[in-house]
Amino acid sequence: MTEEPKPFESVQKRILELKKKLKAVIVAHNYQRPEVQDIADFCGDSLELARKCTEVDAEVIVFCGVRFMAESAAILNPTRTVLLTEGSAGCPLADMIDADDLTGWKERYPRATVVCYINSSAAIKAESDYCCTSANALKVVESIPNGDILFIPDQHLGHYVSTKTTKRMILYPGFCPPHRRLKPEHIILAQKAHPEAKIVVHPECVAEVVALADAVLSTSQMLRYVKESPAKVFLIGTEEGLLHRLHQENPEKSFYVLTGGLVCPDMKRTTLESVLKTMELRRNVVTVTEEIRLRAKQALDRMLAVS
Ligand code: 13P
């Protein structure tokens, strides 16, 4: 008697068939749902995904992530079709600055070099000198020969970098709502329960949280840190989707998210069904006007050259 296919399995099978038909590659951010990460050809942090998208020779890039990430793929690889698996998956942090806000800040600090976090729209990247991710923000800032840095839009990543550089940094007041939920009290409580654990947090966390951590890292840097560490227990201060790869790649180690609710609702919009529908309909094609793309690409290229 043959077994009825489980719903996940039949959807996965259809996605894989369509992938062949469309000559597509599926890429996913480390915060995606476990079953979505599992059907991806490549999972990574923002820097790895941006790099990957300069390399793929597939005709279609199916992007399981949020809009600014898919836009970066479209900016870096304009000859490919980029499909965002959920059209409404945005980033509240990226939405905290628009072109008018940035114009005002540039008028206040006309001599500053503008470094924008990759969590920003294509229009913001186009008005910036350099782009950066959480994995290379310090390297990018240090590579800039002289003068002040206007860092947009994440104040916490900017503040963390400012503690590591002698450069004067002007910080735009944006923040990531899920990372801002994490408070020092959560760390103190979790540490009481797991005194032997290493504490690893994302630099989008507030300074008081960063101060209590053993390591402050991008999501893929966290994966490497955990693999190389002799420690067995880790308290994780980032979106809970990262736990999937942490468990998969380190079955002998234990992981606890530092507090409940470290969830990015936009990252969770993508489901296996939405991946399938996106591929079936070739929907949510991400495009950037050529005028913006060329200027935004300069900021991304400068980042990729540095890191
Ligand atoms: P990473 O680049 O560390 O994966 O972070 C992406 C992000 O959007 C964090 O909120």
- Ligand 1 pocket residue status of 134, Cβ below 6 Å: yes
Counting ligand 1 atoms within 8 A of each CB, the residue from 27, 45, 140, 221 with the most, and so the one to mutate, is: 45
Query: Structure pTM?
Result: 0.96
- Ligand 1 pocket residue status of 284, Cβ below 6 Å: no
Nearest to 127 by CA among 153, 88, 89, 145: 153
pLDDT reported for residue 4: 65
How many CA atoms within 13 Å lie on the side-chain side of 305?
Answer: 9
Residue nearest to atom 6 of ligand 1 (CA): 46
- Ligand 1 pocket residue status of 32, Cβ below 6 Å: no
pLDDT reported for residue 8: 82
Q: Cβ of 291: how many Cβ atoms within 10 Å?
A: 9
Tens digit of pLDDT at every position of the chain (307 positions): 566 666 788 999 999 999 999 999 999 999 999 999 999 999 999 999 999 999 998 999 999 999 999 999 999 999 999 999 999 999 999 999 999 999 999 999 999 999 999 999 999 999 999 999 999 999 999 999 988 999 999 999 999 999 999 999 999 999 999 999 999 999 999 999 999 999 999 999 999 999 999 999 999 999 999 999 999 999 999 999 999 999 999 999 999 999 999 999 999 999 999 999 999 999 999 999 999 999 999 999 999 999 8
114 alpha carbon – ligand 1 mean position (Å): 20
- Ligand 1 pocket residue status of 218, Cβ below 6 Å: yes
Residue nearest to atom 3 of ligand 1 (CA): 218
pLDDT reported for residue 2: 60
- Ligand 1 pocket residue status of 133, Cβ below 6 Å: yes
Nearest to 304 by CA among 81, 149, 72: 72
7 alpha carbon – ligand 1 mean position (Å): 30
- Ligand 1 pocket residue status of 119, Cβ below 6 Å: yes
Helix, strand, coil: what percent of the chain each, to 5? 45, 15, 35
Counting ligand 1 atoms within 8 A of each CB, the residue from 69, 119, 219 with the most, and so the one to mutate, is: 219
pLDDT reported for residue 161: 98
Collapse the DSSP code of 304 into the 3-class scheme (helix H, G, I; strand E, B; otherwise coil) and give the result: helix
Burial group, residue 259, by CB count within 10 angstroms (0-12, 13-18, 19+) = middle
Q: Can you tell me the distance from the alpha carbon of 52 to that of 69, in angstroms, rounded to the nearest whole number?
A: 12
pLDDT reported for residue 268: 98
101 alpha carbon – ligand 1 mean position (Å): 23
Q: Can you tell me the distance from the alpha carbon of 152 to that of 161, in angstroms, rounded to the nearest whole number?
A: 12
Nearest to 287 by CA among 74, 24, 22: 74
pLDDT reported for residue 52: 93
User: Counting atoms of ligand 1 from 1, which one is nearest the CA of 218?
Assistant: 3
Phi and psi torsions of 132, nearest 5°: -155, 165
- Ligand 1 pocket residue status of 176, Cβ below 6 Å: yes
pLDDT reported for residue 6: 61
Asked if residue 122 lies in contact with residue 292, where contact means CB atoms within 8 angstroms, the answer is: yes
The answer for residues whose C-beta is within 8 angstroms of residue 46's C-beta and 6 or more apart is: 29, 69, 72, 118, 119, 133, 134, 135, 218
- Ligand 1 pocket residue status of 120, Cβ below 6 Å: no
Residue 117 structure tokens: 């976090």
- Ligand 1 pocket residue status of 238, Cβ below 6 Å: no
pLDDT reported for residue 204: 98
CA distances from 72 to 50, 57, 76, 182, 282 (A): 6, 16, 6, 28, 19
- Ligand 1 pocket residue status of 46, Cβ below 6 Å: yes
